[in-house]
Structure 1
Amino acid sequence: MPRLLITRPLPDRVIAAARESFEVTARPLTTPLDRNEMRAALAEQDAILATLGDAFSREVLQAVAEPRCRILANFGVGYNHIDVDAARAAGIVVTNTPGAVTDATADIAMTLILMTARRAGEGERLVRSGQWQGWHPTQMLGLHVSGKKVGIIGMGRIGKAIARRCHFGFGMEVSFFNRSAVADPGVPAQQMETLAELAASVDIVVVAVPGGSATRHLVGAQVLGAMQPHAILVNIARGDVVDEAALIAALESGRIGGAGLDVYEHEPVVPAALRGWENVTLLPHLGTAALEVREAMGLMAVENLRAFFAGQVPPNRV
Structure 2
Amino acid sequence: MSHILMTQPMMPSIMDALDARFTLHRLWEANDVDAYVRDVGPRIKGIATGSSHGSTGAALFERVPNLEIVSTFGVGYDNVDVADAARRGIVVTNTPDVLNDEVADLTLGLLIATLRQIPQADRYLRAGRWADAVYPLSPTLRGRRVGIVGLGRIGKAIARRLEGFDVRIAYHGRSRQPDVAYPYCATLLDLAETCDVLIVITPGGPETRHLVDASILKALGPNGVLINVARGSVVDEQALIAALQTGTILAAGLDVFEHEPQVPQALIDLDNVVLLPHVASASVHTRKAMGQMLVDNLDSWFSGKGPLSPVDETPWSRP
Q: What TM-score, normalized to structure 1? A: 0.89
From 302, 306, 311, the equivalent of 1:309 is 302
Counterpart of 2:166 (choices 168, 171, 181) is 171
Structure 1 counterpart of 2:61, which letter? L
Q: CA deviation at 1:275?
A: 0.6
Amino acid at match of 2:216: V
Aligned length: 308
Corresponding residue SS for 1:56: coil
Distance, in Å, in 2 between the alignment partners of 1:95 and 1:216 is 22
Q: Return closer, same or farther for 1:45/1:206 CA change in 2, 3 Å cut-off.
A: same
| Residues 7, 27 of structure 2: 8 Å contact kept | yes
The one-character-per-residue Cα deviations of 1:56-87 (angstroms, maximum 9, x if unpaired) are: 1334434x2x5243211000010000101112
Instruction: Name the residue aligned to 2:176.
Output: 181
Q: Which runs of 5+ in 2 are unaligned?
A: 312-319
1:1-318 → structure 2 map (5 Å cutoff): 1-25=1-25, 36=34, 39=37, 42-51=41-50, 52-62=52-62, 64=63, 67-133=65-131, 136=134, 139-168=135-164, 170-185=165-180, 188-318=181-311
Q: Which moved more, 1:237-246 or 1:19-28?
A: 19-28
RMSD across aligned C-alpha pairs, in angstroms? 2.3
Shift of 1:140: 2.5
Structure 1 residues 264, 35: CA separation in 2 closer, same or farther (over 3 Å shift)?
farther
Which residues of structure 1 form unaligned runs of 5+?
Answer: none
The residue type equivalent to 2:102 in the other structure is A
Contact 2:47–2:70 (8 Å) recurs in 1: yes
User: Amino acid of the residue matched to residue 156 of structure 1?
Assistant: G
How far the C-alpha of 1:28 sits from its partner, in A, is 7.3
Q: Deviations over 1:183-231 (max 9, x none)?
A: 223xx52111221121122221100101111111111111111012111
Q: Label 1:194 to 1:129 Cα distance change in 2 as closer, same or farther (>3 A).
A: same
Answer yes or no: is the 8 Å Cα contact 1:202–1:228 preserved in 2: no
Amino acid at match of 1:141: L
1:39 Cα offset (Å): 4.6
Percentage of matched positions with identical amino acids: 40
SS of equivalent residue, structure 1 residue 79: coil
Residue 243 of structure 1 deviates from its aligned partner by 0.7
Would you say the 8 A contact 2:200–2:227 is kept in 1?
yes
Task: Say if 1:233 and 1:258, in contact at 8 Å, map to a contact too.
Answer: yes
How big is each residue's C-alpha offset from its partner over 1:86-117, in whole Å with a ceiling of 9 and x where there is no partner? Answer: 12333422111111111111112112101110
Q: CA deviation at 1:20?
A: 3.6
Secondary structure at the counterpart of residue 234 of structure 1 = strand
What letter is aligned with 1:181?
R
CA offset at residue 43 of structure 1? 4.5
Cα distance in structure 2, aligned partners of 1:23 and 1:61: 19
User: Compared with structure 1, are the counterparts of its residues 79 and 25 closer, same or farther at alpha carbon in structure 2 (3 Å cutoff)?
Assistant: same
State the 1:135 CA deviation. 5.9
Q: Offset at 1:268?
A: 1.2
> Are the aligned partners of 2:150 and 2:201 in contact in 1 as well (CA < 8 Å)?
yes
2:37 and 2:192 map into 1 onto residues whose CA distance is 43
Query: Shift of the alpha carbon at 1:27?
Result: 6.3
Residue 284 of structure 1 and its aligned partner are, at CA, apart by 0.1
Q: Is the 8 A contact 2:27 2:33 kept in 1?
A: no
Name the CA shift for 1:173/1:7 in 2 (closer, same or farther; >3 Å).
same
Partners of 1:34 and 1:54 within 8 A in 2: no
Contact 2:300–2:306 (CA<8 Å) still a contact in 1?
Answer: yes
Q: Deviation per CA, 1:275-307: give whole Å up to 9, x if none.
A: 111110000000110111011111111111112
TM-score, with structure 2 as normaliser = 0.89
